[in-house]
Amino acid sequence: MTSTSRASLRSAINAHCKACIYDPFAKGCGSWREQVAACCSSNCVFHPVRPVPRERSN
């Protein structure tokens, strides 16, 4: 029996969003999560569940 490694749904969505919108050469635009959070492509099926940075509570 062969074991295959599958990515979780969250990992797959994160990878898709990062590949779609992240520009590592965009200086001052933030991390990949911040760039994905700023994505304005509301016609994307992943837009409602895209990864966004958590709000930090002090």
Domain assignment of residue 34, yes or no: yes
Question: Residue 42's pLDDT is what?
Answer: 84
Distance of CA 38 to the CA centre of its chain: 10
Domain assignment of residue 2, yes or no: no
In this predicted structure, the answer to whether residue 1 has a pLDDT above a threshold of 60 is no
Kindly report, residue by residue over 20-55, the tens digit of the pLDDT. 999 999 888 888 988 999 999 889 999 899 888 777
Domain assignment of residue 26, yes or no: yes
Mean per-residue pLDDT, 10-22: 93
Number of domains comprising the chain: 1
* Full domain range(s) for residue 40: 9-49
Domain assignment of residue 58, yes or no: no
Question: Residue 57's pLDDT is what?
Answer: 61
Domain assignment of residue 14, yes or no: yes
Domain assignment of residue 19, yes or no: yes
Question: Residue 4's pLDDT is what?
Answer: 60
Quote the pTM value: 0.71
Domain assignment of residue 13, yes or no: yes
**What is the DSSP track for 5-49?**
----HHHHHHHHHHHHH--TT-TTS--HHHHHHT---TTSTTGGG
